[in-house]
């Protein structure tokens, strides 16, 4: 019986893109359904009633939500090209840093986006510290996952396109090669990988999207 | 070579209790070291420099932080008995999802209740809705893990010691709204691993009142 894999995603979401990256790295054929987040489909609401968010992976009719949960499911179900380390300690470390990226780094990135003046400066300081901590994890390694790209690289992929686009749209200086040479060296390796490029968020469209959203928020908060 | 297992703990922490339950389920001997969050030990700062939080499990000198990550680690390393996560990938994904949901909701919403500020009423509504959602997931099962306690049970049950606090602070009506969840909580306590690890609800209430005062002074 052929597997039926569907991914409900959104083109600008780094969470959605990371699932696509995992599926492509494993060579899993899937149907992609683009969601309009301002007008969510009834299918999305049916498959993720709890959070009503993308990404949602639907495998043979069964839905899985939350990008990190989806990544683990993909790795366990399609065992070729494993992305998570086998060793329990290494696995725990990979999960720890993935959580750090999602719960700390990306939360601070949001603060940088919405804050202004002194508050924004503080948020930028905070994100610099967090990025430095993350950069330490790359020291002495080709990729976060070691010799080849794996789970943590897939999660950290948010830095490659999404994060750099955000910085450009905001006109702030928080993520540069001078400040983070090791991360940028890693980015240089990643963008040479075809599969990674296939999942890139289209830059101009993204810059436009971020700017429009920020303007809209400024108006609504007045 | 014998395993050396140390847990950096805080008696009241529901997150640390998750780890204790998992260790008990697996029959693992461990040393428990109490931390004072207002005066953190060198060991804690060395073992969890990123977050400086408990619980931290130190296994043969190597630290693991974040309670659910620790529980997953314990389940993988000591896989000889009491599996906490299902072996089926789909069932596993659902367990991971629900534990993540519990992590995203309970502590944060609960905090707004016992801190007793203007958002307390709103938090009370949210808490009941969250418990109702979780109760629907339990359905007619004995445990979230099925016939025996599993990952989601371990993730949630420590918070049952906090129900008394939520009721006393804001009259939440958890028992009336979620009778199945209350029944599940009682059932969990029939497991020695749970009853040994759970804190006394009255002690938690006292602890949170003290904590609130300290936080307000900061």
Nearest CA in chain A to B59: A89
Nearest CA in chain A to B90: A73
CB contact B101 to A (< 8 Å): yes
Q: How close is the nearest chain B Cα to the Cα of A88, in Å?
A: 6
Q: What is the pLDDT of residue B2?
A: 81
* Nearest-angstrom CA–CA distance, A145 and A21: 15
Structure tokens belonging to residue A194: 């075809």
Is the pLDDT reported for residue B208 higher than 70?
yes
Across all residues in chain A, what is the average pLDDT?
96
Is the pLDDT reported for residue A1 higher than 60?
no
pLDDT in tens, A36-51: 999 999 999 999 999 9
pLDDT in tens, B134-163: 999 999 999 999 999 999 999 999 999 999
**For residue A92, which residues of chain B lie inside 8 Å, CB to CB?**
64, 69-70, 72-73
Nearest CA in chain B to A61: B90
Residues 160-189 of B with CB under 8 A from A: none
Q: Are B22 and B70 in contact (CB under 8 A)?
A: yes
Is the pLDDT reported for residue A180 higher than 60?
yes
What is the side-by-side strand order in the sheet with B56-59? B31-34, B5-9, B56-59, B62-65
Q: How close is the nearest chain A Cα to the Cα of B89, in Å?
A: 6
Q: What is the pLDDT of residue A154?
A: 98
Q: What is the pLDDT of residue A221?
A: 61
**For residue B76, which residues of chain A lie inside 8 Å, CB to CB?**
88, 91
Q: What is the pLDDT of residue A161?
A: 97
Indicate yes or no: CB of A89 within 8 angstroms of CB of B73.
yes
Q: What is the pLDDT of residue A219?
A: 76
CB contact B70 to A (< 8 Å): yes
Nearest CA in chain A to B91: A73
Is the pLDDT reported for residue A222 higher than 60?
no
Max distance between CA atoms of chain B, in angstroms, equals 55
Q: How close is the nearest chain A Cα to the Cα of B202, in Å?
A: 32
Q: Distances from the Cα of A42 to the Cαs of A4, A53, B166, in angstroms?
A: 19, 12, 35
pLDDT band at B1 (very low <50, low <70, confident <90, very high): low
Determine how many CB atoms are found less than 10 A away from the CB of residue B7: 21
Q: What is the pLDDT of residue A94?
A: 98
Q: Is the pTM of this model over 0.95?
A: yes
Q: Is A167 exposed, middle or buried (0-12, 13-18, 19+ CB in 10 A)?
A: buried
Is the pLDDT reported for residue A75 higher than 80?
yes
Task: Give the residue-averaged pLDDT of A184-212.
Answer: 97
- List CB contacts of A14: < 8 A, sequence separation 6 or more: A106, A157, A158, A161, A162, A163, A201
pLDDT in tens, B3-36: 999 999 999 999 999 999 999 999 999 999 999 9
Q: Are B211 and B115 in contact (CB under 8 A)?
A: no
Q: Distances from the Cα of B122 to the Cαs of B146, B172, B173, in angstroms?
A: 33, 11, 14
Q: Which residues pair with A57 in a beta bridge?
A: A7, A64
pLDDT in tens, A108-154: 999 999 999 999 999 999 999 999 999 999 999 999 999 999 999 99
* Nearest-angstrom CA–CA distance, B35 and A47: 42
Three-class SS string for chain A? CCCCEEEEECCCCHHHHHHHHHHHHCCCCCEEEECCCCCCCHHHHHHCCCCCCCCEEEECCEEEECHHHHHHHHHHHCCCCCCCCCCHHHHHHHHHHHHHHHHHHHHHHHHHHHCCHHHHHHHHHHHHHHHHHHHHCCCCCCECCECCCCHHHHHHHHHCCHHHHHHHHHCCCCCCCCCCHHHHHHHHHHCCCHHHHHCCCCHHHHHHHHHHHHHHHHHHCC
**For residue A101, which residues of chain B lie inside 8 Å, CB to CB?**
none
* Nearest-angstrom CA–CA distance, A13 and B84: 32
Q: What is the pLDDT of residue A218?
A: 77
Q: Are A116 and A36 in contact (CB under 8 A)?
A: no
Nearest CA in chain B to A104: B51
**For residue A95, which residues of chain B lie inside 8 Å, CB to CB?**
66, 69, 72
Q: What is the pLDDT of residue B218?
A: 78
* Nearest-angstrom CA–CA distance, B93 and A68: 10
Strands A56-59 and A5-9: antiparallel
* Nearest-angstrom CA–CA distance, B95 and B86: 8
Structure tokens belonging to residue A88: 């329990």
Buried b (16+ CB within 10 A) or exposed e, A97-121: bbbbbbebbbebbebbbeeeeeebe
Q: Residues B129, B133, B134, B140: is their CA dihedral positive or negative?
A: positive
């Amino acid at each position: 019986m052929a597997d039926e894999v569907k991914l409900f995603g959104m083109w600008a979401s780094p969470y959605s893109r990371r699932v696509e990256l995992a599926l492509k790295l494993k060579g899993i054929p899937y149907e992609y359904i683009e969601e309009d987040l301002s007008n969510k489909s009834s299918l999305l609401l049916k498959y993720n009633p709890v959070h009503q968010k993308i990404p949602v992976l639907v495998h043979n009719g069964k839905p899985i939500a939350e990008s990190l949960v989806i990544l683990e499911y993909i790795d366990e179900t399609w065992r070729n090209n494993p992305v998570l380390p086998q060793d329990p300690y290494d696995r725990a470390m990979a999960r720890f840093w993935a959580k750090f990226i999602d719960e700390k780094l990306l939360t601070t990135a949001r603060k940088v986006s919405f804050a202004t003046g002194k508050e924004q400066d503080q948020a930028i300081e905070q994100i610099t510290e967090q990025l430095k901590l993350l950069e330490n994890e790359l020291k002495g390694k080709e990729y976060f996952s070691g010799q080849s790209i794996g789970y943590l690289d897939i999660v950290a992929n948010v830095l490659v396109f999404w994060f750099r686009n955000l910085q450009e749209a905001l006109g702030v200086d928080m993520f540069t090669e001078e400040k983070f040479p090791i991360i940028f060296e890693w980015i240089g390796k990643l963008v040479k990988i075809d599969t990674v490029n296939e999942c890139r968020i289209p830059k101009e469209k993204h810059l436009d999207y971020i700017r429009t959203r920020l303007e809209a928020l400024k108006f609504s908060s007045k | 070579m014998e395993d050396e297992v140390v847990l950096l703990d805080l008696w009241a922490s529901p997150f640390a209790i998750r780890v204790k339950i998992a260790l008990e389920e697996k029959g693992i001997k461990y040393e428990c070291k109490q931390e004072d969050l207002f005066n953190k030990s060198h060991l804690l700062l060395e073992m969890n420099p990123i977050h400086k939080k408990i619980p931290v499990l130190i296994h043969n000198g190597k630290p693991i932080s974040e309670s659910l990550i620790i529980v997953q680690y314990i389940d993988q390393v000591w896989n000889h008995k009491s599996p906490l996560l299902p072996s089926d990938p789909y069932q596993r994904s659902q367990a991971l999802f629900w534990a993540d949901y519990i992590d995203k909701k309970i502590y944060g919403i609960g905090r707004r209740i016992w801190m007793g500020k203007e958002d307390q009423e709103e938090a009370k509504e949210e808490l009941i809705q969250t418990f109702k959602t979780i109760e629907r997931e339990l359905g007619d099962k004995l445990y979230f893990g099925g016939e025996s306690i599993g990952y989601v049970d371990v993730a949630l049950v420590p918070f049952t010691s906090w129900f008394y606090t939520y009721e006393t602070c804001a009259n939440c009506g958890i028992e009336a709204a979620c009778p199945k969840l209350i029944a599940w909580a009682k059932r969990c306590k029939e497991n020695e691993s749970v009853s040994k690890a759970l804190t006394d609800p009255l002690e938690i209430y006292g602890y949170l009142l003290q904590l609130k005062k300290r936080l307000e002074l900061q």
